[in-house]
A and B are shown apart, each in its own frame.
Chain A
Amino acid sequence: MQECFFVFCGVKMEVLKINGVEKHFPAGLMPSTVSALLEQLDIKAATVAAEVDGQIVERNKFTEAKLLSGQRIELVRFVGGG
């Protein structure tokens, strides 16, 4: 995928759309993998499933799966249900 970015106050910014909300990072500070993102969001990886651009990333690939600016990330976990 083509990497995308934009410039904000002279600083190059990168963006991830996480659960429908855009999150901006100064270039170079964007988490580079799914595990890095979870760590930054303070979310335990053990109970989470992740999709990157509609493709499921298995948990054992969280540390390897590279993130690129502009990607859509879905993070889901279990809640009460019948």
Chain B
Amino acid sequence: MDKLVIADKEFNSRLLVGTGKFASCEIMAEALEKSGTEIVTVALRRVDIENKNDDMLRTIDVKKYLLLPNTSGARDADEAVRLSKLARAATGINWVKLEVTPDPYYLLPDPVETLEAAKILIKEGFVVLPYINADPVLAKKLEDVGTSTVMPLASPIGSNQGLKTREALEIIIEQANVPVVVDAGLGLPSHAADAMEMGADAVLVNTAIATAGEPGRMAAAFKLAVEAGRTAYIAGAAVAGKRASASSPLTGFLRNNKEK
């Protein structure tokens, strides 16, 4: 597959994987391995002082995966900036998945606060990957202030509903000069393949893998789907039509024989 380039970094995999909701660190590690991913998202939380074993990073090989901290939990730009700085202090990496989700029911991102936070973070030297609603105007504004991707949602986080924002995603993809990572709501490998066939540069999947019957096997399925979708996009889709167009020759000899 052709390489995905975000900021100055090249990646062979176009599947980003989130690390939430896995039943155990071991199951997560297996799923990451089988997904072929090179970018994994993580969240920041207070250390549980009573439980020293809550250190999840022990099972993520940071030499193999780029850790992409998110700002989940932030409800405005200030909180997102604070979380980003803490994440940078914890990883030493200046990449951040910017998400500002004040609404707890649909977890839809706040466009005004996201744009504001993006401006501040870019000034502070961060590589910003913003999670947004599928809003083509916002996507262009973020690109203009210097974000390294845009990450529009397919449907609400963790909903597994698939590509509910298809038409808007198509416009974002058509207009973008930065990679478009379709994030949130992809519930099946076919949804991921669909997004990639549309021309998305990458997808991010978490819940659909983490809560599958067998997360490792589902991660492998998403890997194949993303590769298939990307390859199909590059190959160029054949034109869809309403009427049949014969694939086999219809100029038969059967009837001609009978007529003789």
B43 touches A56 (CB 8 A): no
Q: Does B22 interact with chain A (Cβ within 8 Å)?
A: yes
Interface residues of B in 193-245 (CB under 8 A from A): 204, 206-207, 210
Q: Is the interface of B mostly helix, strand, loop or mixed?
A: mixed
Q: Does A48 interact with chain B (Cβ within 8 Å)?
A: yes
A79 touches B28 (CB 8 A): no
Question: Among A21, A49, A79, which residue has its beta carbon within 8 angstroms of that of B89?
Answer: A49
Q: In the assembled complex, how far is the CB of residue A10 from the closest CB belonging to chain B, in whole angstroms?
A: 28
A56 touches B157 (CB 8 A): no
B90 touches A82 (CB 8 A): no
Q: Does A58 interact with chain B (Cβ within 8 Å)?
A: yes
A79 touches B56 (CB 8 A): yes
Q: Does B176 interact with chain A (Cβ within 8 Å)?
A: no
Complex Cα gap A56–B28 (Å): 30
Residue of B nearest to A41 (CB): B49
Q: Does B87 interact with chain A (Cβ within 8 Å)?
A: yes
Residue count of chain A within 8 Å CB distance of chain B: 26
Complex Cα gap A78–B96 (Å): 13
A81 touches B49 (CB 8 A): no
Question: Among B28, B44, B158, B184, which residue has its beta carbon within 8 angstroms of that of A78?
Answer: B44
A78 touches B46 (CB 8 A): no
A47-B90, A48-B90, A49-B90 given; A78·B56 CB < 8 A: yes
B47 touches A48 (CB 8 A): yes
Q: Does A4 interact with chain B (Cβ within 8 Å)?
A: no
B85-96 interface code vs A (CB 8 A; 1 in, 0 out): 111011110000
Q: How many of chain B's residues touch chain A, expressed as a range?
A: 35 or more
Complex Cα gap A75–B54 (Å): 13
Complex Cα gap A74–B90 (Å): 12
A80 touches B49 (CB 8 A): no
A81 touches B89 (CB 8 A): no
A18-B49, A44-B55 given; A81·B86 CB < 8 A: no
Complex Cα gap A76–B73 (Å): 13
What is B's interface to A at a CB cutoff of 8 Å? Answer: 18-22, 28, 41-47, 49, 52, 54-57, 67, 69-70, 72, 85-87, 89-92, 157-158, 184, 204, 206-207, 210
10 contacts between A and B (CB under 8 A): A19-B49, A49-B90, A76-B44, A77-B44, A78-B87, A80-B18, A80-B19, A80-B22, A80-B56, A82-B18
Q: List 19 other contacts, CB 8 Å, given A77-B54, A81-B70.
A: A18-B49, A19-B46, A20-B46, A21-B49, A41-B49, A48-B90, A49-B89, A59-B89, A75-B47, A76-B44, A76-B45, A78-B44, A78-B67, A79-B45, A81-B44, A82-B18, A82-B70, A82-B206, A82-B207
